[in-house]
Structures are given as structure tokens and as C-alpha cells.
Structure 1
Amino acid sequence: MQSIFKIALPVLLAGTIATACQTVQTTHGGAVGVQRSQLMMVSAQEVEQASNQQYQQMVAEARSKNALDRDPATVQRVRRIVSRLAAQTGAFRTDAPSWSWEVHVFSSSELNAWCMAGGKMAIYTGLIERLALTDDEIAAVMGHEIAHALREHARERVSKSMATGLGISVAGALLGVGQLGQDLMGQVAKVTFELPNSREHETEADRMGVELAARAGYDPRAAVTLWNKMAGQSAGAPPQWLSTHPSHATRQRDLAEYAARVIPLYEGARR
């Protein structure tokens, strides 16, 4: 009986993992042409639910520390920019404009911003104030972060983690053991706040971000000035939230090239 179980369990897990895997195209290519299929092992709904729970916890914690949306003028400014960006997300996926978009300003000296699955966002006052960001540069930051959510990079990274963990989470769900929801929240938090994005993910977010900004009527070339400010604040390298890859020079060239490509969209939006 034991030998049968040893043979059957790997086969059963392999079949379950294969069933759970999906190759998806999360977004349209847009003018910048981001087109890459992604392998997913967890559903978009699960990641969005875990992200929303994590977001509500962070908002509640910031509120308890009197660090949430302290300056109404800054909050209004950020929300106006994000609203214009969110309205343009249909260029990449038709469902995105109807997401429950939400953004808060956290009072913190950190140079940080992020967008979780489903459009739950935050930007830190340290980023706005220490870098003296213009509206165009805030649009560059938030467009980049929105692009990560549109491409479901967190879901893809969690899926990769599950795959390299030999499908432990899938096995747990199959066998009815473990705290899968809690584990997923932890995974989402880890890939969102702790681990730097891959070079591939950062490049996709850079390119889609400049297009979102341009379509919303913000100068896409501000992504280059933003990047230079970030590098200047970080001894020539970006902070962890923007990853250390690709290199500064490579990224600067790519941003400049793709910003130039979408200038006609920017000019059209400004008319």
C-alpha cells in the first residue's frame, strides 16, 4: 500500500499542478508592443482578494499612526493624476477601467510607491517631497506601478514561487491542509514589498507606464527625469522598489526611446 501511495502521489500532484497552470495573455500590446504570454498557477481572483486584504491592513495601520492622507492638497493632486491614468488603462485591457481603483498617500520618508492587484495603490510623501516631483513625474511613477498590476506581475511571481516550491500550495489545497489564504497573503506581500522585480517585469512596466502617461496627457519624457532623480538619491542605483535591473544607462536609454515613440499620443491628448 505504501509503495502504491509513493507512486500515486507524485502523479496526482503532477496532474493537479498541470491542471492549475494556465498560459495567459494578461494585456493587449498597446502602442509599445508588450506581448508576452505568462504562466499562472493561481487565479487572478485569489491574488486580488489576498491583495485587497493586505491593502486594508496597511491602510488601517497607517491610519492608526496618523500617517494616512495627512495633506488634503497632496491627496487631491495624486488622485487627480491616478484618475486620469486609470481612465486610459483600457488601451491594455478592457476590464481595467472598471477596477475599484484606490490610492492613498502614506506619510513616510521612504522613496516608495506601489500598485497591488486590482488597482489598490499608495505613494509615499518621501518620494514626492524629497524628489520634488512634478505632476508629469508622479504620472511616471504611478503609470509604472499601474502597469505592474495590469500585467499581473504579482500573480506571475507568486505562480513562479509555487512552481519552484514543487506545487506545495497546490498540494495543500488538494489534500485539505495548511492555511492557503494566509499563505497567499504572505506571498503577495513578499513579492510586492520585499523582493525586487525582475528585469523583464521592470522593462514591461517602464514601457507601458510611459504610454499610460502619454495617453493621460502627461509628458512621457518625465520618466527619464524621474529616473535620474531616483538614481541621484540612491548613490547611482535605484531603490529596491524599482529594482537594480536593468542598469541605469540601459534603462535610461530604453525609457527615452519608448517615451519618444508615444509622443504623438501625448500631443493628441493635449489637444
Structure 2
Amino acid sequence: MLAAALALAAGAAWAQVDVGAASSLRTLVPAETLEQSAQQQYAQLLEQARAQRALAPEGNPQLRKLRAIAQRLIPYAAQWNPRARQWRWEINLIGSKEVNAFCMPGGKIVFYTGILNQLQLTDDEIAMVMGHEMAHALREHARERLVKTQATNIGLRLGAQLLGLGDVGTLAANLGGQLLTLKFSRSDESESDLVGLELAARAGFNPQASVTLWQKMSQASGGEGFGFLSTHPTGPDRIHELQANLPKVQKLYEQARR
């Protein structure tokens, strides 16, 4: 199924939504180093969940649904980041009341049952969450955030190239634990909203679900355990922006549904 979808994506005419060029700052952190660090952190997270008997088994219906949705989204990822062709994508589900989901560099995805159950997400809404998180990884927002964080901590500036990649790369190798708590900028969020919306629309998921998703998020934002909202703030402006973006991807959705 994935091979067929990849072939379809490769043969499709590609006209991406415009989100501008990715920040050159991210190049100060080697992608390979950060992806390896993410893999280590991901493995530790899964091991902890397994020890707590919270890691969903292979036959879990919700996990199977998540993986089926991912199979539809992944074929369109490499158009946003060629490295995604080599990523070993993984999708897992952890039993927890926490309302959260994320995609780490290298394509490591986790959903918590809290976000599925408490918000009663439809398949289309799940695709919007997943597409958004994949977009953060594809646009390498974590690489950029980590550079900016370390620039503050150790006095790096745009001339940090003079220090050599090894200095920043060494820092990146030890930053896996920060990947789960990074707070992206508002521009990162807007970019991921639009890129994720396009990924989902191309995969045949209704773009309107992005609006209903964030309406649910907004209504539930006062609840406890909303880890997703700690790093993905919501509000009327975000919903209005999503509504304004719907026409940009509507034709892609219609083409996917033919």
C-alpha cells in the first residue's frame, strides 16, 4: 500500500503552498546528529512506556488506525524534505491521559491515548494533528530552535560557523531530552499548520477538520494534562488563519478524493 502511494505521489504534479525558505540557522546542527539523538530519546520513551505496560500492542485498534493514516501521509513528506526518503518512520501509541502527540526528527511519531479519547478525534482530525507534527520535523524546526536556544546559552551568534560544526554538533548530541519540550515560535506553528494541512489534503483528508480540531482544542484548553497545548497554543487567531488557508488546499483534497 505504501509503495503504491509513493508511486502516486512521485507521479503527481507538485505545487506546494508557499511558506518561504527554511531558516539557514538549522544547518549549524548536523541533521544526522539530531536524528540519532532523537532516535535514542524515542527508544527510551518507548522502553519506559513498555515497562509501565502503557505501550499499545501491535493489534491495538487505535494504533492500527494511526498507522493507516500515517501510511497515507508519508508518501508526500519527501517533497518537503528529501531526507524523509531515508527516514525510518515509526508510529506508536502510549496509554496516558495526557493530551499530546509529536513527531521527532527522523520521523518518530507518538500519540497519547488522551488526545484521541478526550477530544474524540475523527480520522480527519487525527490526520491534521499528525500532518502538523510531521511538518515540524520536515521543516526542521527543532534544529533551528536548538541553535537559537544554545545561542542564548553560550553566546553564539550568526557567525557561529567560525566555531565549527563540531561544537554545535556536540551540543546537539546531548539534546535529545529537550526535543519533547521544545516550544516552537508562532511562525513555526503557522508554517506547520499550513504544511500539515497540505499533506493531509493530498492524502485525502478533509481540510475542514483542521478547524474543528482547533475548536476542540480551544474548548478543552482549560483541562489538565494538555501537553500539546503547552507547546501549541491555541486561540481565535489560529482558527481564523486556518480558515483562511482552506482555499489553498481545497483543490488538492478534491483531486485526492476522485
In structure 1, list runs of 5 or more residues that go unmatched: 1-28, 175-179
Distance 1:98 1:186 in 2: 23
Q: In the TM superposition, what whole-angstrom CA distance separates every residue of 1:188-245 from its partner, at most 9, and x where no partner exists?
A: 432x322422101101100101000000110111011000111111139x94534577
Q: Which residue does the alignment assign to 1:101? A: 89
Aligned pairs, how many? 236
Larger radius of gyration: 1
Q: In the TM superposition, what whole-angstrom CA distance separates every residue of 1:55-75 from its partner, at most 9, and x where no partner exists?
A: 011011111111111461111
Offset at 1:260?
A: 2.3
Matches within 5 A, 1:80-159: 80-159=68-147
Secondary structure at 2:82 match in 1: coil
Distance 1:172 1:217 in 2: 41
**Do structure 1's residue 53 and structure 2's residue 36 form an aligned pair?**
no
Equivalent residues of 1:136, 1:222 under 8 A apart: yes
Offset at 1:111?
A: 0.6
Q: Which moved more, 1:69-78 or 1:222-231?
A: 69-78
Taking structure 1 as the reference length, what is the TM-score of the superposition?
Answer: 0.79
Report the AA paired with residue 261 of structure 1: K
Secondary structure at 1:123 match in 2: strand
Secondary structure at 2:78 match in 1: helix
Q: Which residue does the alignment assign to 1:69? A: 56
Q: Cα gap change, 1:242/1:151 in structure 2, threshold over 3 Å: closer, same or farther?
A: farther
Matches within 5 A, 1:181-220: 184=172, 186-190=174-178, 192-220=179-207
In structure 2, list runs of 5 or more residues that go unmatched: 1-13
Equivalent residues of 2:217, 2:234 under 8 A apart: no
Kindly, what percent of the aligned residue pairs are identical? 43
Q: Cα gap change, 1:30/1:188 in structure 2, threshold over 3 Å: closer, same or farther?
A: farther
Equivalent residues of 1:202, 1:242 under 8 A apart: no
User: Following TM superposition, where does structure 1 have runs of at least 4 consecutive aligned residues deviating by more than 4 angstroms?
Assistant: 167-174, 242-247
Q: Which residue does the alignment assign to 1:34? A: 19
Equivalent residues of 1:31, 1:262 under 8 A apart: no
